[in-house]
């Protein structure tokens, strides 16, 4: 029989060449080997991650999470996206062991969180902002949490410094703003210096400075090799921090893709051209196979697809067509996200179609 270590390596290599489903199974094997290697041993092994397999949660007739499977990997920020009510928080609660799954399982660093001897050092989680007693100081709040796992008080002071609450640490937390509550929640997530961090809507309630701070923090945590899993209902926010996206709607997996793959899912890129001589431009471009469509509202605006903007510029110069505007359009990640989740949105607003409102000049 092969030594477990070597077999684990083989399985790891396999992962890169197999389909997602097979990858999950293969990692399951690697995980069970690791568990036999070091039962109850401390974390610090390679490949700390969150692994969700066929996770399902029913509340009576309602299916909040429906057969969800994905893996959150270390070293990058993974955005967990979906419209409100998509099941993001329920999934995170099952990862934390707060809700019992109706079916399937969620593991953190190889096993369900509740089976770890010291959960705080495996997974740092922020589920609710301001989960604090209003009359207890931030420092005492963290000291109590630290005491559960024997984390020394100096680490409490350290995380208070990291989140910038050291000056108000001895004040009653009831006077904290929502943003300060979020920072305290993030401090408690970092308390055990965990390899895996999971934050539910961490940007909520933060001021612009706080938002910049958390983007930087998330990227730093990922750069240190940690697994960073962050939920949001705002693609515009996640697009700035996440390199990988897990998108769900109505409890089901819609997409599990990298940022580049998500961008490629948009419609064919177009170039906006504004010219008073539309007909002559159409003639000039027609021979090269470009498709030109007019704008219903503005007669001088044309959309060109199948041709790069520099080629369009050259062709129009050659034909002597005067241009007033030449702008490549790119579907924003937000527009693509809206398109993907549209059928899964539970609470439809009757606004404009997202793809017409979120197009922007690149």
Partner 1 sequence: MDTITASHISDTADAGPPVMRQRLGRAVTEWSVTKAEWIKLRSVRVNVVGVLAAAAALVLLGVLFSALAPKDMGPGGTATNSVSFAFGGISLSQLIIGVLAALFVGSEYASGLIRTTFGAVARRTRVLRAKAIAFGCATWLAMTLGAFGAFFAGSAVYSGNLPSYSIGDPGVLRAVLSAGFYGACVALIGMAVGFLVRSAAAAIGLLLGLLMLAPLLAELVPGTAGDTLIKILPSNAGEAMMSVTSPDNLLPPWPGFAVLVAWVVGLLAAAAVTLGRRDA
Under rule CB under 8 A, which residues in 70-109 are in contact with partner 1?
A: 71, 73-76, 93, 96-100
Which CB sits closer to partner 1, 94 or 285?
94
121: left (phi over 0), alpha (psi -120 to 50) or beta: alpha
* Residue-wise burial string across 161-197, b where 16 or more C-beta atoms lie within 10 A, e elsewhere: eebebeebbeeebeebeebbbbbbbbbbbbbbebbbb
Shortest distance, CB of residue 49 to partner 1, whole angstroms?
8
137 contacts partner 1 (rule: CB under 8 A): yes
Which CB sits closer to partner 1, 13 or 286?
13
* Interacting residue with partner 1 among 4, 7, 23, 63 (CB under 8 A): 23
The separation between the first and the last C-alpha atoms of the chain, rounded to the nearest angstrom, is 56
Which CB sits closer to partner 1, 36 or 297?
36
What is the spatial distance between Cα 104 and Cα 93, in angstroms, rounded to a whole number? Answer: 14
48 contacts partner 1 (rule: CB under 8 A): yes
Which of 41, 44, 37, 28 has its CA nearest to residue 6?
37
The residue assigned the tokens 């000056």 is 167
Footprint on residues 311-350 left by partner 1 (CB under 8 A): 340, 343-344
Q: Residue 170 corresponds to which tokens in the numbers above?
A: 């001895």
What is the spatial distance between Cα 301 and Cα 147, in angstroms, rounded to a whole number? Answer: 66
By CB under 8 A, which span of 31-39, 123-131, 161-169, 302-310 interacts with partner 1?
123-131
Q: Compose the 150-179 pattern: x for residues touching partner 1 by CB under 8 A, - for all others.
A: xxx--x------------------------
116 contacts partner 1 (rule: CB under 8 A): yes
Extended strands (E) in 213-258: 227-232, 244-249, 252-258
Containing H/E element for 156?
A: helix 153-162
Binding-site size, partner 1 (CB under 8 A): 79
Which CB sits closer to partner 1, 168 or 312?
168
Footprint on residues 200-229 left by partner 1 (CB under 8 A): 224-226
* Interacting residue with partner 1 among 130, 171, 219, 280 (CB under 8 A): 130
* Interacting residue with partner 1 among 256, 277, 323, 342 (CB under 8 A): 256
Cα 33 to chain center, whole Å? 29
Which of 310, 294, 359, 296 has its CA nearest to residue 330?
359
Shortest distance, CB of residue 3 to partner 1, whole angstroms?
17
249 contacts partner 1 (rule: CB under 8 A): yes
Which CB sits closer to partner 1, 75 or 269?
75
């Amino acid at each position: 029989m092969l030594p477990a270590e070597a077999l684990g390596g083989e399985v790891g290599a396999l992962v890169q060449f197999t389909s997602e489903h097979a990858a999950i199974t293969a990692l399951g094997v690697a995980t069970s080997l690791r568990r036999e290697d070091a039962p109850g041993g401390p974390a610090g092994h390679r490949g700390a991650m969150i692994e969700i397999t066929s996770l399902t949660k029913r509340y009576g007739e309602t299916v909040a999470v429906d057969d969800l499977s994905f893996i959150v990997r270390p070293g990058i920020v993974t955005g967990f996206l979906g419209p409100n009510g998509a099941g993001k928080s329920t999934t995170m609660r099952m990862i934390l062991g707060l809700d019992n799954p109706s079916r399937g399982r969620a593991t953190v660093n190889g096993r369900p969180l509740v089976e770890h001897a010291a959960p705080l050092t495996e997974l740092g989680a922020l589920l609710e902002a301001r989960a604090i007693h209003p009359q207890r100081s931030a420092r005492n709040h963290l000291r109590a949490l630290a005491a559960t796992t024997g984390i020394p008080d100096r680490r409490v002071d350290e995380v208070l410094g990291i989140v910038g609450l050291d000056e108000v640490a001895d004040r009653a937390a009831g006077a904290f703003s929502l943003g300060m509550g979020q920072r305290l929640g993030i401090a408690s997530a970092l308390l055990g210096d965990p390899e895996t961090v999971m934050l539910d809507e961490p940007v909520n309630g933060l001021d612009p400075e706080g938002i910049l701070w958390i983007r930087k923090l998330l990227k730093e945590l990922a750069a240190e090799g940690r697994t960073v899993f962050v939920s949001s209902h705002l693609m515009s926010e996640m697009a700035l921090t996440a390199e990988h996206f897990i998108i769900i709607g109505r409890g089901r997996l819609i997409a599990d893709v990298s940022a580049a793959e998500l961008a490629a899912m948009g419609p064919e890129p177009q170039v906006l051209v504004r010219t008073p001589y539309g007909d002559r431009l159409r003639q000039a471009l027609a021979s090269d196979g470009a498709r030109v469509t007019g704008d219903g509202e503005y007669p001088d605006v044309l959309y060109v697809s199948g041709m790069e903007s520099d080629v369009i510029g050259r062709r129009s110069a050659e034909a002597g067509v005067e241009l007033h505007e030449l702008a490549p359009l790119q579907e924003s990640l937000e527009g693509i996200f809206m398109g993907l989740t549209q059928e899964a949105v539970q609470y439809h607003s009757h606004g404009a179609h997202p793809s017409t409102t979120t197009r922007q000049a690149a």
